[in-house]
């Protein structure tokens, strides 16, 4: 279940839960260790568990010019959180009032009075409250006062370095999809809505879905073997298709604005306005400028062959 807490509503309460708190962008392997610890606590205590996260993130509100691109859309994040057996996801609308709340007021007002937390699981580097003034020591001190326990989950490392969202963003932006996959425990996936384009692909025999992915982090320009997950209009499981995705400015057509275009293989449906997940499997080549449309079309045929070869060995999960 997902519950949106609008503008710090004091009337919203829960009665005894295990809780973890954070932005959880990407829900990477470090976050997953926290979620596993929280789930285990819930199994032993036989009490519900919840994650409290923020929309927008604190940096998006307080320093929008410095806000990094997202690893996951909010809906993706919620789905991944729930996949770890968490009973409830609370989305606290982060605003100026919340940003000015001291660490002690956050503990007393939200953790103790509203959510009546019985246990809080947090990461090793967690800070909270106005100007990030609250520390693990603060939480432990007031946990004794208000009667909740605190568990601190240590860092996770990949290749000898700490895993955190900033490192994953850098790996994706640099094209190191394999490292990003290790840290996320899944391939990097863009979620976006299909928007109208100029239909150039359709005119040369390779129709594409143009994707508006918002502020998600993108890999470098180029052509990628991808898979696409398309949600159905009913309750059936989503359908997965093989695809080839181009990120770039279309230099052959003299464009200078970057676009995300997905050619879904063996597919012929109108999907304007629908939401897609584009799963990046492997880069095929860098973006190129071609002397004419015929050369471009021939290269696309070759790209499709390569993509099919890559994707036949991929596990679509």
Q: What's the distance, Cα to Cα, between the start and end of the chain in Å? A: 23
Q: What is the pLDDT of residue 199?
A: 66
What is the predicted pLDDT for the residue at 262? Answer: 97
* pLDDT band with cut points at 50, 70 and 90 for residue 40: very high
- How high does pLDDT run on average in the chain? 91
- Mean pLDDT over 6-27 rounds to 83
- pTM for this structure? 0.91
Mean pLDDT of 13-41: 95
Q: Provide the pLDDT confidence category of residue 16 given band limits of 50, 70 and 90.
A: confident
- Find the DSSP H helices in the chain: 29-45, 58-62, 74-83, 96-99, 103-106, 136-146, 165-173, 177-184, 200-203, 293-312
d(Cα 152, Cα 88) in Å, to the nearest integer? 21
The mean per-residue pLDDT over the stretch 287-299 comes to 90
For the chain, the structural domain boundaries read 2-158, 188-312
Q: What is the pLDDT of residue 149?
A: 97
Which residues contact residue 228 at a Cβ distance below 8 angstroms, ignoring those fewer than 6 apart? Answer: 240, 241, 242, 243, 262, 264, 276, 277, 278, 279
Query: Do 209 and 109 form a contact (C-beta atoms < 8 A)?
Result: no
Banded pLDDT at 10 (limits 50, 70, 90) = low
As a whole number, mean pLDDT of residues 36-56 equals: 95
Q: Are 52 and 4 in contact (CB under 8 A)?
A: no
The 10 Å Cβ neighbour count of residue 273 is 9
pLDDT of amino acid 5: 66
Cβ 278 vs Cβ 188: under 8 Å: no
Model pLDDT, residue 317: 43
Higher pLDDT, 204 or 281: 281
Question: What is the three-class DSSP state of 229?
Answer: strand
Superfamily designation of domain 188-312: Riboflavin kinase-like (2.40.30.30)
Domain 2-158: assigned CATH number: 3.40.50.620
Closest CA to 229 of 200, 197, 194, 195: 194
**In contact, 36 and 83? CB cutoff 8 Å:** no
Cross-strand partners of 260? 247
Q: Residue 13's pLDDT is what?
A: 74
């Amino acid at each position: 279940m997902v519950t949106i807490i609008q503008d710090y509503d004091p009337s919203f309460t829960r009665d005894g839960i295990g809780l973890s708190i954070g932005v959880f962008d990407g829900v990477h392997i470090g976050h997953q260790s926290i979620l596993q610890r929280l789930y285990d606590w819930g199994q032993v205590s036989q009490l519900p568990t919840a994650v409290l996260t923020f929309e927008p993130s604190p940096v998006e509100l307080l320093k929008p010019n410095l806000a990094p691109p997202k690893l996951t859309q909010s809906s993706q994040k919620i789905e991944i959180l729930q996949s770890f057996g968490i009973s409830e996801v609370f989305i606290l609308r982060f605003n100026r009032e919340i940003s000015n709340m001291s660490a002690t007021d956050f503990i007393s007002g939200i953790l103790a009075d509203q959510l009546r937390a019985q246990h809080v699981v947090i990461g090793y580097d967690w800070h909270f409250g106005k100007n990030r003034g609250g520390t693990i020591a603060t939480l432990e001190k007031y946990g004794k006062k208000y009667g909740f326990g605190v568990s601190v989950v240590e860092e996770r490392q990949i290749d000898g370095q700490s895993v955190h969202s900033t490192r994953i963003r850098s790996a994706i932006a640099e094209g190191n999809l394999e490292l990003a996959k290790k840290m996320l425990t899944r391939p990097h996936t863009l979620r976006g809505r299909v928007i109208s384009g100029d239909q150039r692909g359709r005119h040369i025999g390779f129709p594409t879905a143009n994707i508006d992915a918002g502020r998600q982090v993108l890999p470098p320009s180029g052509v990628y073997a991808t898979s696409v997950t398309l949600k159905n209009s009913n309750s059936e499981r989503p359908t997965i298709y093989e695809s080839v995705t181009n990120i770039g400015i279309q230099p052959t057509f003299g464009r200078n604005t970057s676009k995300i275009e997905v050619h879904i293989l063996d597919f012929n449906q109108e999907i304007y306005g629908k939401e897609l997940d584009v799963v990046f499997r492997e880069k095929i080549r860098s973006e190129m400028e071609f002397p004419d449309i015929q050369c471009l079309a021939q290269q696309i045929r070759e790209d499709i062959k390569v993509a099919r070869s890559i994707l036949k060995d991929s596990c679509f999960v």
